[in-house]
């Protein structure tokens, strides 16, 4: 449920998942060095419809479905990125990226620095968060903060279909490694997506709703929940400003500071564990740089610091919704 402006009326609308598909399709058509490699890239069960028709159009040499060997697959992709190819390495579940940390962190992230900028690992690492549905602790993790900790890696997390396409194109165009994280809970979200090739700048957030009472910084699918909450809060005469972070690293701190100067209150929300999170980093930087503008302590709304449950009933308590956002906002506004 993203807000539409007048310019969006009568425009083409596309789902989040098909926006990713269109970005990859167009960039592969335009640039013969772009290829896709990963487990299950030809199976909707693994990657939804984000790779639809790629194999049919470009063939198995450019759309490589690999065995279950994340470390080797990633090493092949990163190696190709070092010799003038442009791989998109796909992990159908972010959980299993743990097997590939060595080539991502020790090699890809450091390459540009180790060679004084004269060599680079030109690769997109696409990780899918796929949770809910009683999938349990090993198939539900959102590990973005781990990668934001590593110098040399950019991390993007689109929340709209428009950004899903634009950030994928930016990631492909970037000469250094970009971690592109999409959430399957957003795959059916639709909004205006131009058919032409366009990019969304990495490291720049976006204001999704203007407000004056509190700033809510949201990441990935929590943007959708924050907007639902803002609509409900509006009925109660609480005017929230919603910032979609879009890039988990680098973080658009200047945009957040500008908003906090106006509202004096800040809530940060992401569907990941609270300790050591991106929310923690934002909290720290805003407290240090904008303390004098704050009317209340900064609050975070994240997942509990425990593994995801299997039980459907426990999942309902574990995952965040707009109702949790509303409750947290009211607590902040009641601070004296």
Calpha distance 234→313 (Å, rounded): 30
Query: For residue 323, what are the CA distances in angstroms to 22, 249, 301, 326?
Result: 34, 28, 11, 5
| Three-state DSSP class for residue 190 | strand
Angle, CA of 279, 284 and 289, to the nearest 5°: 125
Backbone torsions φ then ψ of 209, nearest 5 degrees: -150, 130
Calpha distance 27→331 (Å, rounded): 46
Residue from 70, 107, 241, 281 carrying the catalytic annotation: 70
Q: Which two tokens stand for residue 76?
A: 């092949």
**DSSP run (H or E) holding 209:** strand 206-209
Q: Which two tokens stand for residue 203?
A: 């490291």
- Cβ neighbours of 181 (radius 10 Å): 24
Calpha distance 210→73 (Å, rounded): 44
Q: Is 139 a residue of the active site?
A: yes
Q: Is 70 a residue of the active site?
A: yes
Q: Give the residue carrying structure tokens 């159009």.
A: 57
Residue from 22, 134, 139, 192 carrying the catalytic annotation: 139
- Cβ neighbours of 117 (radius 10 Å): 11
Secondary structure (H, E, C), 121-179: CCCEEEEEECCCCCCCHHHCCCCHHHHHCCCCCEEECCCCHHHHHHHHHHHHHCCCCEE
N-term to C-term CA, the chain = 33
Q: What single DSSP character describes residue 271?
A: E
Calpha distance 135→35 (Å, rounded): 30
The residues that are catalytic are: 70, 139
């Amino acid at each position: 449920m993203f807000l539409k402006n007048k310019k969006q009326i009568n425009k083409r609308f596309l789902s989040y998942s098909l926006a990713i598909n269109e970005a990859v399709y167009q960039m592969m058509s335009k640039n013969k060095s772009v290829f896709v490699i990963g487990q299950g890239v030809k199976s909707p069960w693994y990657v939804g419809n984000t790779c639809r028709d790629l194999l049919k159009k470009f063939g198995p040499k450019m759309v490589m479905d690999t065995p279950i060997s994340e470390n080797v697959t990633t090493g092949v992709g990163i190696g190709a990125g070092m010799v003038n190819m442009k791989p998109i390495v796909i992990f159908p579940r972010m959980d299993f990226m743990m097997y590939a940390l060595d080539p991502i962190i020790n090699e890809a992230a450091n390459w540009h620095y180790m060679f004084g900028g004269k060599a680079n690992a030109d690769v997109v690492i696409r990780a899918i968060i796929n949770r809910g549905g009683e999938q349990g602790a090993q198939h539900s993790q959102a590990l973005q903060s781990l990668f934001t900790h590593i110098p040399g890696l950019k991390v993007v997390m689109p929340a709209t279909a428009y950004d899903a396409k634009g950030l994928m194109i930016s990631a492909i165009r970037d000469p250094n490694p970009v971690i592109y994280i999409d959430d399957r809970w957003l795959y059916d979200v639709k909004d205006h997506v131009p058919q032409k090739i366009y990019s969304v700048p990495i490291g720049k957030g976006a204001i999704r709703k203007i407000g004056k009472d509190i700033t809510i910084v949201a990441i990935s699918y929590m943007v959708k929940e924050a907007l639902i909450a803002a609509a409900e809060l509006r009925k109660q005469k609480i005017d929230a400003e919603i910032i979609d972070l879009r890039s988990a690293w680098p973080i658009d701190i200047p945009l957040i500071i500008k908003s906090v100067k106006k509202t004096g209150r800040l809530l940060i929300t992401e569907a990941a564990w609270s300790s050591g999170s991106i929310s923690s980093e934002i909290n720290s930087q805003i407290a240090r740089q904008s303390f004098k503008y704050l009317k209340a302590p900064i609050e975070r709304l994240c997942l509990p610091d425990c593994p995801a449950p299997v039980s459907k009933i426990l999942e309902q308590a574990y995952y965040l919704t707009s109702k949790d956002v509303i409750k947290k906002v009211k607590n902040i506004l009641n601070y004296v």
